[in-house]
């Protein structure tokens, strides 16, 4: 998984936890394994499957005492069912969780634009989960999707946040013009640079939903 996204998720967990002292924080076990093969390349048939290393990492966390697992990568959820079948502890499904929370928090939203990797679009992870909640998913056009991939892989993953943010902002404007009533950060790298309040419509952040749910489930 991307180390920047991993660090961002951990900070969200910290901020989502109400504490009065250090000891009130959750115990968090992090295995930042950036060697896991690229998920989008695997889905395209252009690289090895990440599943063996996802399972290995999941088993490491399980053996280390984790009660649940969260993954700071949308595209990795393409392999969720196979990963979960190899583990005894739950792996939270970020995309399904966010669909449910969005339906509850933004009931008026019926069309949402999706900023995500090619792998996530190809696997239709969002369509499967969000359309069950009555939310239609709008994807960028082909040229704009190339800009989204450039933002993720050539800028944000390389530490160049501002150029990536500009590309994603412009892609968001296209989605809004196409009728999106909200924009989804469908890649954890997108979540790093695009935030609610940046656009004229709500910015929906599955990674924030994941952090808050992890804190809730680990209470006590």
Catalytic residue among 63, 73, 158, 185: 73
What is the share, in percent, of the chain residues with pLDDT greater than 70?
100
Q: How far apart are CA 126 and CA 179, in angstroms?
A: 17
Q: Looking at the structure, do residues 14 and 24 belong to the same domain, yes or no? A: yes
Could you tell me if 112 and 151 lie in one domain?
A: yes
Per the structure, the count of domains in the chain is 2
Residue 113 sits in the same domain as residue 188: yes
Is 73 considered catalytic here?
yes
In this structure, the answer to whether residues 100 and 140 fall within a common structural domain is yes
39 and 131 co-located in one domain: no
Task: List, in order, residues 6 or more apart from 96 with CB less than 8 Å away.
Answer: 129
pLDDT of residue 140: 98
43 and 11 both lie in a single domain: yes
- pTM (two decimals): 0.92
Q: Return d(Cα 96, Cα 206) in angstroms, integer.
A: 9
- In this structure, the answer to whether residues 46 and 139 fall within a common structural domain is no
Mean pLDDT of 132-152: 97
Residues 78 and 99 in one domain: no
Asked if the model's pLDDT at residue 118 lies above 80, the reply is: yes
Same domain, 78 and 139: no
* pLDDT in the model for residue 220: 58
The answer to whether 187 is a known catalytic residue is: yes
When pLDDT is averaged across residues 196-205 and rounded to a whole number, the result is 97
CA–CA separation, 8 and 165 (whole Å): 16
- CA-nearest of 135, 54, 44 to 91 is 54
- Whole-number pLDDT of residue 1: 75
81, two tokens: 């069912």
Same domain, 98 and 201: yes
CATH number, position 77: 3.40.50.1860
Q: Is the same domain home to 171 and 182?
A: yes
Same-domain pairing of 101 and 200: yes
Which residues constitute the domain of residue 84? 3-92+209-217
């Amino acid at each position: 998984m991307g180390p920047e996204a991993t660090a961002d998720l951990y900070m969200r967990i910290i901020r989502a936890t109400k504490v009065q002292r250090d000891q009130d924080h959750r115990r968090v076990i992090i295995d930042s394994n950036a060697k896991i093969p690229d998920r989008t390349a695997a889905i395209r048939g252009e690289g090895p499957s990440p599943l063996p290393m996802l399972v290995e990492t999941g088993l490491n966390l399980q053996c280390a005492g984790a009660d649940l697992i969260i993954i700071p990568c949308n595209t990795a959820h393409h392999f969720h069912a196979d990963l979960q079948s190899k583990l005894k502890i739950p792996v939270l499904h970020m995309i399904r969780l966010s669909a449910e929370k969005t339906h509850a928090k933004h009931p008026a939203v019926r069309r949402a634009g999706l900023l995500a990797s090619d792998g996530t679009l190809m696997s239709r992870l969002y369509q499967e989960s969000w359309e069950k909640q009555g939310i239609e998913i709008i994807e960028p056009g082909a040229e704009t999707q190339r800009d989204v991939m450039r933002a993720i892989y050539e800028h944000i993953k390389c530490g160049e946040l501002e150029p990536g943010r500009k590309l994603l902002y412009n892609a968001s404007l296209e989605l809004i013009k196409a009728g999106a009533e909200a924009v989804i950060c469908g890649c954890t790298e997108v979540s790093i640079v695009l935030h609610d309040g940046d656009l004229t419509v709500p910015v929906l952040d599955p990674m924030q939903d994941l952090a808050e749910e992890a804190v809730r489930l680990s209470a006590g």
